[in-house]
Amino acid sequence: MERMTKWFAPWLLMVVALMSVQAAQARELPDFTDLVKQAAPGVVNISTTSTVNAGGAYGQQEMPEIFRRFFGDQMPPMPGMPGGNEERKSLGSGFVIRADGYILTNAHVVKDADEITVRLNDRRELPAELVGSDPRTDVALLKVDADDLQTLQIGDSDDLEVGEWVAAIGSPFGFDHSVTAGIVSAINRTLPSDTYVPFIQTDVAINPGNSGGPLFNLDGQVVGINSQIYTRSGGFMGLSFAIPISVAMEVADQLRTEGHVSRGWLGVVIQPVSRDLAESFGLDDARGALVSDVSDDSPAAEAGLQAGDVILGVDGTDIDDSTTLPRLIGQVAPGDEVQLQVMRGGDEQDIDVTVGDWPESLQADGSRGGKSADDQAKLGIAISDLSDQQKQQLDIDHGVLVRRVDPRGAAAGAGIQPGDVIVSFDQQAVSSADELIDAVKQADGDRAIPVRLIRDGNSLFVALRLGSDD
């Protein structure tokens, strides 16, 4: 017996020690129960009803799978279905920011809605009025006729750190007040289709119906609005994106007081600075935003900005990546003056610019409205004309610069990349963006089209398939 006790005692001590370690680890994990109890009454379910044309163009297109909006929309009619109008319902989430009935959600949740209904935590269902929406930041403000609603505490998204625990409450697939948790994976993330929002990336499980719902820190404060997911299947894959609450509240305040959002505008077309371009412009490293074009009668033109300038900073804030510039300028109130740090001809200088108001005639990517902005979607790229200086650097006399590429578009499928210069389309030289757009409109979508590019000083051809419009 004594021999058995001597043999068993060390094992017993090891088991006790292991259990103690596991208990200590369990105590270190966050407990969200109090957060949920306090915050749940301020989270709402949003349902919308809209009338759509079942035989329209939307009904003939497949829902995009990458960086798709995810508000629980039913799948659109498939090709071959009869036309006519049909009623479509969708679900999303939102949260109360003022006790007198103001509710924050995503703009895409209520887009084109004929009726909006808000279901509160106490199961009341109230009709909601759309106060205003801002598609560029994907923020919308609703108003219901109610008083003394429980509001959520607004936090400071600027204090978020990568690795910090966060939680979401929403209505995925219509399951009200579902709670999921995870960590902040990255901050200030720029997505291909959104240049004005420094997204919070998390691994919090987000699915259709969570869109518009709040993202909380461990103090129970709202730090973001769940807006997008990265998915190939339509469901959660570990990448979720939230709008910082600092951005959303600024937009909400303008929508409530003005009915619309004003944001700063320079009037420049920009592109990333590659290593080769950095060397050619006298930069030590690849940073800043290269101005490839300046709009006539724009604030940039009035301040003397030129194509070929590299904007390195705004009021002392460095621009490490070209996508930072639109966000910084968009936060400036129209009429305010900013000082740009610019590299021109190998010398750094400061240029003062009075920021303008974003013209209604501009699309979300900053280009002028009309056929060029609309028809670029078919190709899946954003393009601009080459400046004389760019032509001289590339030693060409014609071509069109590719500024951005939609990863879902035809151009991406052909291997076209940002920074490429398209010099011919279907064996015909192209000298301007308008020429390329016209060629795309007239192209036969049922066959492969040869496109000649200049990339890193080398000429190459790619085969492009646009797809049929029928």
Residue 26, both tokens: 């369990």
Which residue in 290, 288, 181 sits closest to 240, CA to CA?
A: 181
CA 335 vs CA 297, 324, 325, 342: distances in Å: 15, 20, 17, 21
Distance CA 312, CA 291 (A): 11
CA dihedral 369, 373, 377, 383 (to 10 degrees): -160
Find tokens 């974003």 and name the residue: 358
Q: Which tokens sit at 36?
A: 């949920």
Instruction: Report the catalytic residues.
Output: 108, 138, 211
Residue 315 · residue 339 · CB < 8 Å: yes
Cα 53–chain centre separation = 27
Task: Give the Cα separation of 110 and 72 in Å (integer).
Answer: 12
